[in-house]
Amino acid sequence: MSDAKNIVIFDFETTGLSPKMGDRPIEIGAVRIKNGLLVERFQALMHPGIRISSFIENFTGISNKMLAEAKPCAEVMGRFCDFIGSDNLVAHNASFDKRFLDAELHRISRGYSGQISCSMLLARRVLRDAPNHKLGTLVDYLNIQTEGVYHRALFDSEMTANVWLAMINKIQQHYKMKTIPFALMQKLCKTPAAFAHRTILNWK
DNA sequence: TGCCAGGCCCTCTTTAGGGCCTT
């Protein structure tokens, strides 16, 4: 288990890769972890104000027709900001999701006080033997049960949460600690990968 | 006109380049 503060693990589906290039989110999914358990979920489609490409429709299964009935980004992101509260945040390849989170909250003059950590960077250190560090590969590598479709925000955030908890469990066993401070997870993510594995984790 | 992400990480590195990962 991590420290007493809750963690919100979140994932965006978006129109593309870069908010600076005009891309917007089309779906947000998130789960809250408390004392090592998944206790709350958040999911919402949102209308980005533009039509999405056929590539994104095929990639996510989210269609322009579905988005036509969705609330605008500003409304959904306001609700999501309320959901986050002061909790710490985790995402898979967090630099990607953070860019969209920051851009959308900036648009509505909102923010967050929690710290953000990245499950992909942690996996590169803790699960070095995995074939690669894509979310789906890590889920298979860890034998995590799945029931859902990848590239939908809630399912991806649930799978990220399961991977995160599995890595916490591995670190707990390594350090023989009952709780793992979020700050330690962040420190591992920011430590050069080879150094982290050789001198901090020192597996085997 | 045509192109356009960006941060991390490894190595054939550090005065760089290319793959990974996210949609």
What phi and psi, each to the nearest 5 degrees, are found at residue A124?
A: -65, -20
% pLDDT > 70, chain A:
97
Question: Protein A17 CA to nucleic acid B4 C1', in Å?
Answer: 11
% of chain A surpassing 90 pLDDT? 76
- A18 CB neighbours strand B below 7 A: yes
Closest-lying nucleotide for A17 based on CA to C1'? B23
Is the CB of A101 within 7 Å of strand B? Answer: no
Average pLDDT, chain A: 92
**The two structure tokens encoding residue A157:** 């955030």
User: CB of residue A192 closer than 7 A to nucleic acid strand B?
Assistant: yes
The contacts of residue A66 (CB under 8 Å, 6+ apart) are: A45
Integer distance in angstroms from CA A66 to C1' B12? 49
Residue A90 has pLDDT above 70, yes or no: yes
- Residues A86-105 have a mean pLDDT of 96
Dig out the tokens for A174 from the structure. 């390594």
Whether the CB of A91 is less than 7 Å away from nucleic strand B comes out as no
**What is the SS3 assignment for A116?**
strand
- Looking at the C1' of nucleotide B4, which residue has the nearest alpha carbon? A21
Would you state the pLDDT for residue A196?
Answer: 79
Token pair 């150094």 is at which residue? A195
**Domains of chain A from N-terminus onward:** 1-204 (3.30.420.10)
pLDDT digits (tens, 9 = 90+) for A27-36: 999 999 998 8
Query: What digits encode the pLDDT tens for the residues A23-67?
Result: 999 999 999 999 889 999 999 999 999 999 999 999 999 999 999
Q: For residue A98, give the nucleotide whose C1' atom is nearest its CA.
A: B22
Average pLDDT, stretch A180-193?
Answer: 84
Evaluate if residue A197 carries a pLDDT over 80.
no
Segment among A8-12, A111-115, A159-163, A195-199 with least mean pLDDT: A195-199
- pTM for this model (two decimals): 0.92
Separation in Å: B17 C1' and A21 CA: 25
pLDDT in tens, A111-153: 999 999 999 999 999 998 899 999 999 999 999 998 888 999 9
Confidence grade of residue A2 (pLDDT, cut at 50, 70, 90): very low
Q: Which residue is nearest to nucleotide B19 (CA to C1')?
A: A132
Considering only residues 134-153 of protein chain A, which place a Cβ less than 7 A from any atom of strand B?
134-136, 151
Q: Are A38 and A158 in contact (CB under 8 A)?
A: yes
As ranges, strand B nucleotides with an atom below 7 A of a protein CB are 4-10, 20-23
